[in-house]
Amino acid sequence: MHLSTPKLALSLAFTALLTGCFDSGESKPEVEKATAPQATEIRVAMMQPPRTGLSPLSDDAFKLSRWSTAETLVNLNDQSVAEPMLATEWEQVDSMTWQFTVRKGVKFHDGSDLDANAVMNSLQKALDAAPKPRILDGIEWHVRALDDFTVEIKTTFNDPLLPSRLSSPQLAILSGAAYQENGRVVPINAGTGPFVLTEINGTTSAKLKRFDGYWGEQAKVDSIFAEYIPNGFARAAALRTGEADVVEAVPVSQIAMMESSQLYEVAMPRTNTLYLNNKSDVFSQFGLRKAAAQAVNREQIIKTVYENHADLAKGLLGPALAWAQPIRDANPRMETMETRRANGEKITIGTFTDRAELPEVAVMLKQQLEAAGFVVELDVREYAQIENDALAGKFDAFLLSRATVLDSGDPVAYMQSDFSCKGSYNLGQFCSEDVDAALKHADRQPLGEKRQQAIIEAESKILEQYAVIPLLHERVIQGESDRVKNAQRDPRERRLIDQFTEVN
């Protein structure tokens, strides 16, 4: 929805000094400017720099998707229903066999043709990756080309979610040239979308231009210049000063300094969560995990840090999944009222600066946990610098803003990734046979009420163990300059600039 809240408290005065430099190329001579048609470029301030050189097999895939350069076989619409993209149709031939018809007449950006072999190659690279894309956690497929434009996928179980899985940006279809012998994937000039990725400037910026050979409607703008600005104050300043046209995640603290007509609030399927390291000396103890959970005051965090631009977490899944809370209400989780306290146990909480509110949340958590008897140290860095330590379990707790349905429109993949014993993003080092069984059961259920019920049952088992402390569900504020039209405001963070986006 459009943000029209009252002015909020002013933030740091030095914010304007942090603006990024959107120098996307040399200016043309004045004579040429007078005669040449005006090229249209849209400038985007991205929140996080890439971590794997924009490999589609990592979370960097979502940048490729948000810039509309890499495409998948299947698209998810606003209601999370699977629709054709690079596949025009599909059929479940039997309980473990699916066939997908590949769209004809599609060119990759390098001029090669999209066909069944190209699709098979991209999917096989994802299956062979280490680690696998999280949508493939616990998944084994056998993929083959039946003919030039038909791909068969055989599963190891009856998987009702398979078409939706194929919508994950991490399963984008790229030309064969993108896949290097050393295992690297270089997406330059390799996608099928309306924009060609032409330049990757490390963790600084990327450039794209319109692909005139696109199979769908031509893009409205000539080029995209994307700059990575992890500092939230700097992103806001870039919008205020006209340096950026579209800005990801404007910090709440900056709203008072912005034009309200340029801010849009999007309810997100994203949960601000404190992961407790179930293998650390402190939080391997159930009683101390419960003490930490009891110490946290969510309402105070939402009011103080988010200025009420967030929703109280009653579970892992928030109001963006409207079906979750009614199922919880019908099946309330029983808790003992016994109060637990710490006794001077020392813990380290890690978090990152890329989302401007998280360091402030960490400070409040430190105060709340110390009031409950813990001794707390904070370790705050940019995400790219702290991720490996977090995955290695080097913190007693880690504060994360976590998207819960990014991959398939369904939260099971996120829950498997974060809370199964072999999950690829198990920051809490958590392992429970009961939870693994519940997640496996949920993943076998057909789409609809049975699956939703099983998901909430699995959520309940995770929360009973105090494996994590869900704090709040975010509403992300997207900034758009007055010259932008039809930028995408996508709760699943898959779309930002597409062929319909325009600039004046």
Domain ranges of the chain: 13-51+193-245+481-503, 70-178, 267-476
Q: Domain spanning 267-476: which superfamily?
A: Dipeptide-binding Protein; Domain 3 (3.10.105.10)
CATH 3.40.190.10 fits 13-51+193-245+481-503, yes or no: yes
Residue 132 neighbours by CB distance under 10 Å: 18
DSSP, collapsed to helix, strand or coil, labels residue 45 as: strand
Which residue has 């993929």 as its token pair? 143
Residue 238, class by beta-carbon neighbours within 10 Å (0-12 exposed, 13-18 middle, 19+ buried)? buried
d(CA 374, CA 281): 13
Angle at the Cα of 61 from the Cα atoms of 249 and 40, rounded to 5 degrees: 65
User: 70-178, what's its fold?
Assistant: Dipeptide-binding Protein; domain 1 (3.90.76)
What helix, strand, coil percent values describe the chain, rounded to 5?
30, 25, 45
Q: Which residues lie closer than 8 Å to 129 by C-beta, 6 or more apart?
A: 57
φ and ψ of 324, to 5 deg: -70, -50
Shared fold status for 13-51+193-245+481-503 and 70-178? no
For residue 336 the two structure tokens come to: 């003992």
Beta bridge partners of 87: 102
Q: Provide DSSP, 47-112.
A: SS--SSSS-TTSTTHHHHHHTT-SB-SEEE-TTS-EEESSEEEEEEEETTEEEEEEPTT-B-TTSP
Query: pTM for the full model?
Result: 0.75
- 131 preceded by a cis bond (ω within 30 of 0): yes
Q: What is the pLDDT along the chain (504 residues), one digit of tens a residue?
A: 555 443 333 333 334 344 445 554 444 444 444 444 578 999 999 999 998 999 999 999 999 999 999 999 999 887 778 899 999 999 999 999 999 999 999 999 999 999 999 999 999 999 999 888 888 887 899 999 999 999 999 999 998 889 999 999 999 999 999 999 888 999 999 999 999 999 999 999 999 999 999 999 999 999 999 999 999 999 999 999 999 999 999 998 899 899 999 999 988 889 999 999 999 999 999 999 999 999 999 999 999 999 999 999 999 999 888 899 999 999 887 776 688 899 999 999 999 998 889 999 999 999 999 999 999 999 999 998 999 999 999 999 999 999 898 677 889 989 999 999 999 899 999 999 999 999 999 988 888 899 999 999 999 999 999 999 999 998 889 999 999 999 999 988 899 999 999 998
In terms of DSSP bridges, do strands 346-352 and 397-403 run parallel, antiparallel, or are they unpaired? parallel
* pLDDT tens digits along 355-388: 889 999 999 999 999 999 999 999 999 998 999 9
Q: Looking at the chain, how many residues does it have?
A: 504
Output the 3-class SS for 325-370: HHHHHHCCCCCCCCCCCCCCCEEEEEEECCCCHHHHHHHHHHHHHH
